């Protein structure tokens, strides 16, 4: 009799554990996979082919004089604004630049980030931000970069605080509600940039090897 009672109790315990696991599993929702309806507008390199001379002309027009170091940049006060991760964008770990932009470029970056978030929402998803991968490059950073990459330009618009790079191969996924293919997010970002480019707010170069859009405020 005791053996039978123990067997029944074990069965009840196993059943209870199984039910508990089912309840916990039901509480964990899988991300919703979302694909946007994309209207192709041609090759990215054709739409975003503004060459360095255009970027430099704009940079020299509204930017600062090139600085030697971060310490020198910090002394410029209101001429530069330090950018940091916020609700509109994420600043990546910067290895060869420092997070400073002139006010006009900072406003442009915020507009791009906000418009991208709104675009993703309008397409039925959410939870993604752009990632800024390069900003102001002091002379010391340019020298270090050229030691590692002989193709890096010493005459870059990044020297003037007017220019920044935004990744198109990765985005900051800030919640687990939706998952969106990176190719669709890239297209949403490109649509935002194309609108601003047409409005004469910026120049944009599609960088293939670097996996980013190279953007200069106008």
**Ramachandran angles phi, psi of 114, nearest 5°:** -65, -45
Q: What is the pLDDT of residue 20?
A: 46
> Which residue bears the tokens 């964008």?
89
Contact between residue 203 and residue 55 where contact means Cβ atoms under 8 Å apart? yes
Q: Is the pLDDT assigned to residue 9 strictly greater than 80?
A: no
Return the residue matching tokens 């005459």: 155
Q: Phi and psi of 89, rounded to 5°?
A: -160, 165
Residue 215 near residue 110 (C-beta atoms within 8 A): no
- In the structure, what pLDDT confidence band is assigned to residue 5 with cuts at 50, 70 and 90? very low
Residue 166 forms beta bridges with which residues?
A: 132, 213
Please tell me the distance from the alpha carbon of residue 165 to that of residue 133, in angstroms, as a whole number: 6
Report the C-alpha gap between 184 and 105 in whole angstroms.
26
Structural domain boundaries of the chain?
31-217
Residue 23 has pLDDT above 90, yes or no: no
Give pLDDT, residue 155: 84
Chain segment 60-104, per-residue pLDDT in tens: 999 999 999 999 999 998 999 999 999 999 999 999 999 999 999
CA distances from 51 to 12, 21, 85, 130 (A): 73, 58, 28, 23
Q: What's residue 21's pLDDT?
A: 43
Strands (E) across 63-211 are located at 81-82, 89-91, 100-101, 128-134, 163-167, 172-173, 178-179, 202-207
Maximum C-alpha span of the chain: 94
Q: Which residues pair with 167 in a beta bridge?
A: 212
Torsion 163-168-169-172 (CA) sign: positive
Average pLDDT over residues 56-60: 98
pLDDT tens string 192-218: 999 999 999 999 999 999 999 999 999
Residues 91, 132 contacting (CB under 8 angstroms): yes
- Least confident piece of the model among 149-153, 156-160, 161-165: 149-153
Digit-coded pLDDT (tens) for 106-144: 999 999 999 999 999 999 999 999 999 999 999 987 877
Predicted local distance difference test score (pLDDT) of residue 166: 98
* DSSP code per residue over 180-193: --HHHHHHHHHHHH
| Neighbouring C-alpha atoms within 13 Å toward the C-beta of 193 | 30
Torsional sign, CA 61, 64, 69, 74: negative
Q: Would you state the pLDDT for residue 25? A: 45
User: What are the tokens at 198?
Assistant: 């047409």
Q: Report the pLDDT averaged over residues 46-58.
A: 97
pLDDT at position 142 is: 81
Residue with tokens 């949403």: 188
| pLDDT for the residue 38 | 87
Considering only 46-55, 144-153, 183-192, which range has the smallest mean pLDDT? 144-153
């Amino acid at each position: 009799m005791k053996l039978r009672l123990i067997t029944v109790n074990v069965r009840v315990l196993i059943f209870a554990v199984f039910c508990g696991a089912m309840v916990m599993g039901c509480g964990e929702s899988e991300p919703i996979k979302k694909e946007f309806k994309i209207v192709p507008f041609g090759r990215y390199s054709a739409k975003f082919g503004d060459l360095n001379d255009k970027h430099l002309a704009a940079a020299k027009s509204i930017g600062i004089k090139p600085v030697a170091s971060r310490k020198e940049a910090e002394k410029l006060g209101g001429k530069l604004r330090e950018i940091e991760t916020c609700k509109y964008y994420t600043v990546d770990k910067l290895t060869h630049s420092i997070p400073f932009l002139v006010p006009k470029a900072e406003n442009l970056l915020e507009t791009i980030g906000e418009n991208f978030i709104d675009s993703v929402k309008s397409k039925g998803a959410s939870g993604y931000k752009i990632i800024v991968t390069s900003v102001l490059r002091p002379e010391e950073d340019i020298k270090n970069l050229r030691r590692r990459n002989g193709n890096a330009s010493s005459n870059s618009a990044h020297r003037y605080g007017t220019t920044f790079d935004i990744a198109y191969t990765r985005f900051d996924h800030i919640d687990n509600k939706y998952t969106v293919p990176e190719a669709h997010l890239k297209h949403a970002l490109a649509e935002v940039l194309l609108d601003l480019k047409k409005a004469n707010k910026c120049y944009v170069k599609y960088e293939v090897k670097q996996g980013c859009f190279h953007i200069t405020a106008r």
